[in-house]
Amino acid sequence: MKIYENSHYEKEECSCFMARDDKERFLVVTGGTKMEEFRGEALLMDGKKAKKCPLDVHNSRLVREIFPFTKPVSVRGRKFSIGLGDRLGIASAGHIKAVRGKGVFPVLAQQSIRELNLTGRTYDEVLADATWAVLQEGYEDGYGADGDHLKTKGEVAMALEAGFSMITLDCSEFIGDSNLTQSEAGHLETYRDCTFDLPGGVSINISEENYTETIAIYGRALEFTVEVYNELLRERDDVDFELSIDETMTPTKPEAHFLIAAWLKEKGVNVLNIAPRFCGEFQKGIDYRGDLMQFEKELRLHQAVAEYFGHRLSIHSGSDKFSVFPIIGRLTGLDCHVKTAGTNWLEALRCIATAAPALFRRMYRFALDNLDGAKAYYHIYTEKQMAPDDEALKDTELDRLLDINESRQILHVTYGYLLNETNPFRKIFFETMHKEETLYHEYLKSHIRRHLSSLMSMQ
């Protein structure tokens, strides 16, 4: 048994720590009246009664109750935050090692409904995994939990019920042609056909055309947003609210962003972040594709709009966007939120490529066979025939497949197939990852640190 050094905590005679053996990680609790409430097997430690407890949902709730630093909290009051979704439930400890002491607030638990469905997890389980990582690392600086891309009231209610501290509402299903008449948007009259001076010495003109177009495209989506906010979030000042409009085909015009923020302000919606759809492409797992000058020009305007209304920009699909990170850092002054979701999965595969090459080859071929199915969920440019051939690589060279854009994207989007419960790799994958915990954390730390230093490079 190996004890995680930083996980020793005591409160009112209840003492606990986390440990691992060659099969699994677990919690050991001794003393205190609370001990009875933990689920686990009784054992004797130095002649004292103790319990060896599995890292499950029930036990994680007790830990959050006894040690409040393990509970997710609002990001308000901190400038720069980063979303670090953990699809496997084993990455967050490595994420903590990456952000510790770097002045960035981590949102450790961050999953969309699509990710929950593809990995067969629940919000309770996602939050439990983050709780264990926080205890394991003894991380007391606070973290967030984001119910990402939620599309219905039921989904928002489910994330709140599980104790999430942030809600990202995705109203994209209502974006498009709405039948909203202009009189129904009467509260925006004062913004019509006007020019506004924004922070940073820029101005924005809301022409008659911008006005009618924005109401036609976003009107119904904004009504839905206000409805969800009033019903479920208005009373919850402990919960951060983000509005995402990024999953649409056309980029969000800064003028539309301005009117959307104005609409929310007039309706008293306290929105912390807005995620516009930026120009160019933010594809999974690879760098930005598009015109950097255009991106910078539009980002400057989006940032000015955000400062004018007092919210932050949220940048989605932010992993590996190294060519735009310095621009984002400089223009936002790092008063923003950046979400990365799936690259912790790719770093896990890098471990597999290094530690279990034969398993990695099987997984890679399985990914290729299922690429077409996965492309229904994720927009990537890679086609099957572009895939590099693993047979041309020696075992020691296999990790190169994690650095080539095409194979990287293929492995990135097929996680749902590779981790499916009926899949024979799943068990051996997790067993290998348990053995390689230290290596995995090292990979994650250097991967996320590269993101942070690029974002901070122009400060």
Q: Which helix (H) or strand (E) holds 82?
A: strand 81-84
Report the half-sphere exposure of 365 (CA within 13 A, side-chain side). 8
Report CA-CA distances (Å) from 295 to 255, 279, 288, 298, 320: 15, 6, 10, 5, 16
For residue 432, give both structure tokens. Answer: 């290998």
Task: Please count the other Cβ atoms lying within 10 Å of the Cβ belonging to residue 255.
Answer: 20
Q: In terms of CB distance, is 115 or 255 closer to Zn ion?
A: 115
User: Could you confirm whether 436 is annotated as catalytic?
Assistant: no
Residue 236 beta carbon to Zn ion: minimum distance, rounded to whole angstroms: 22
Q: Minimum CB separation from Zn ion for residue 123, in Å?
A: 18
CB of 170 to Zn ion, least distance (A): 7
Residue whose pair of structure tokens reads 């051939």 in the numeric block = 389
The answer to whether residue 115 forms part of the interface with Zn ion (CB under 5 A) is no
13 and 32 in contact (C-beta within 8 Å)?
A: yes
Structure tokens at 85: 């979704």
Among residues 242, 255, 320, 390, which one is catalytic? 242
Cα–Cα distance between 238 and 233 in angstroms, integer?
Answer: 9
* Binding flags for Zn ion, 230-249, as an x/- string (CB under 5 A): ----------------x---
**Burial class for 182, CB neighbours closer than 10 Å (0-12, 13-18, 19+):** middle
CB nearer to Zn ion: pick between 133 and 328: 328
Using a 10 angstrom Cβ sphere, with 0-12 exposed, 13-18 middle and 19 or more buried, the burial of residue 19 is middle
Closer to Zn ion by Cβ: residue 223 or 246: 246
**Number of Cβ atoms within 10 Å of the Cβ of 270:** 17
- Active site residue: 125, 137, 146, 148, which one? 148
> Shortest distance, CB of residue 427 to Zn ion, whole angstroms?
31
How many Cβ atoms from other residues are within 10 Å of residue 216's Cβ?
A: 17
Q: Minimum distance from CB of 275 to Zn ion (Å)?
A: 6
Of these, 316, 408, 412, 447, which contacts Zn ion (CB under 5 A)?
A: 316
Verify whether residue 148 is a known catalytic residue.
yes
Give the interface segment with Zn ion, choosing from 204-212, 294-302, 304-312, 314-322 (CB under 5 A). 314-322
Stretch that binds Zn ion, among 115-123, 278-286, 315-323, 404-412 (CB under 5 A): 315-323
- Using the minimum distance from each CB to Zn ion, give the nearer residue, 115 or 390: 115
Residue 290 structure tokens: 């598009």
Within residues 350-379, the interface with Zn ion by CB under 5 A covers: none
Whether 105 and 40 have beta carbons less than 8 Å apart is answered as: no
Count Cα atoms within 13 angstroms, Cβ side, for 181: 2
- Residue closer to Zn ion, measured from CB, 246 or 399: 246
Which SS3 state, helix, strand or coil, does residue 160 take? Answer: helix
* Least distance (Å) between residue 157 CB and Zn ion: 21
Q: Minimal distance in Å, beta carbon 172 to Zn ion?
A: 9
Place of tokens 């048994």: 1
Q: Which stretch binds Zn ion (CB under 5 A): 18-26, 313-321, 435-443, 445-453?
A: 313-321
Residue ranges in 144-183 that form contacts with Zn ion under rule CB under 5 A:
none
Nearer to Zn ion, 256 or 353 (CB): 256
Helices and strands of the chain, counted as H and E runs: 16, 16
Instruction: Tell me the site size for Zn ion, rule CB under 5 A.
Output: 2
Nearer CB in complex with Zn ion: 220/316:
316
Residue whose C-beta lies closest to Zn ion: 316
Point out the residues that are catalytic: 148, 242
Binding site for Zn ion (CB under 5 A): 246, 316
